[in-house]
Structure 1
């Protein structure tokens, strides 16, 4: 048993004899490096997902109406460039809502209260109260300033967070009206 204890004590570098602890002295030591490198992938900045806005189906009305979005949808940006140079996401409505040749004159989409989803790993800034213009002019909806944006940023357009306003005086024809939203991710920082 004493032999086993002595072997164990020597293994751990100390030995106690008669209440005196003896430490083993290191004969030599060296330090080495551990290295890893990262490079920017070709698709390091990309728009993974863009939001579809669905305002549902409603009876024709002669009154001014506001219709809330009826589904949850998201826009997702991934930045794994490793540069921390920032980016911006814009959306443009490239024309008014149409049903064949019939146009929903003076209809207006407003992105009222989108939020940065809790699943986001990136720091980003979500814009609220954005009124889209059906003339194709882009509107800033989310951005990351210099030093931000690394990882994944998810802009959450939850049910009810966007509004479509339609004047009562606008002629409505039975059927489905559609417009096109063009989402553009830029590798530049917008000045706010």
Structure 2
């Protein structure tokens, strides 16, 4: 009885030993391989369209005089038209402020007031920087009458973007325009590694500041006739900050 048990136990030990050797052989290293992933970028010339500077959502301008946007991938998407309202002729020195921009939200159709602003998009992918300049082409004119000595100022520039991080924000400047058609003023400068994506330069950080950020100063002794006085501003976007 005891002898039989010993033989059986020895047999089990032998079987387990063989089984263990077999398991070690099956666990050999299976090697390694490498796979790839890729993505192809192409030049983006699609128009960006006007957006709300505070939400980055598409909006519809309500002004029929809204300038035509330029083509991408580096583009001027939107510039507010400046309206100083209807004013009584005055013999005093006067300062008039541009009305807030009125924009239609999508899809609600709600009209909202925003500080007047400029929208720029850089989809070039080069991070090479850019510069926006502006020229006042002539003095405000109503036929043969012009507002001699009138001065147009755009102040309290505020850069906004959903892509805004430390170091990548372009520099916006306050502007006092010279109505000679040749004097150019820097509005926004994006240095190398700045200004990728869509950016907004609002004149005034909010509605309150925006209500007094763009002014037209008119001397009291400037002759004025009843009717609309108009000027034009030419905005130029260069593909280098220099």
Q: Could you state the TM-score of these two structures normalised by the residue count of structure 1? A: 0.79
RMSD of aligned Cα (Å)? 1.9
Match of 1:145 in 2: 191
Matched, 1:30 2:33: yes
Deviation at 1:40, TM superposition (A): 3.1
**2: CA distance, partners of 1:85 / 1:118:** 18
8 Å Cα contact 2:125/2:196 also seen in 1: yes
* Selected match of 1:160 from 187, 199, 212: 212
Instruction: Name the CA distance, whole Å, in 2 between partners of 1:113 and 1:133.
Output: 18
Measured at CA, do residues 156 and 120 of structure 1 come closer, stay the same or move farther in structure 2, by a change above 3 Å?
farther
**Runs of 5+ in structure 1 lacking a partner?**
1-23
Q: Which structure has greater strand proportion?
A: 1
For residues 111-150 of structure 1, what are the structure 2 equivalents within 5 Å? Answer: 111-119=154-162, 123-128=169-174, 130-136=175-181, 137-150=183-196
* Partner secondary structure for residue 29 of structure 1: coil
- Against the structure 1 CA distance between its residues 119 and 66, is the aligned structure 2 distance closer, same or farther, given a 3 Å change threshold? farther
Indicate the structure with greater helix content.
2
Whole-angstrom distance in 2 between the partners of 1:176 and 1:109: 16
Look up the match of 1:106.
Answer: 149
Structure 2 partner of 1:47: 76
Residue 109 and residue 177 in structure 1: after superposition, are their counterparts in 2 closer, same or farther (change >3 A)? same
User: Which of the pair has the greater relative contact order for Cα pairs under 8 Å at 6+ separation?
Assistant: 1
Q: Describe the shift of the 1:166–1:86 C-alpha distance in structure 2 as closer, same or farther (beyond 3 A).
A: same
Q: How much has 1:159 moved relative to structure 2?
A: 3.0
- Trace 1:167-186 onto structure 2 (pairs within 5 A): 167-186=219-238
**Aligned residue pairs, count:** 166
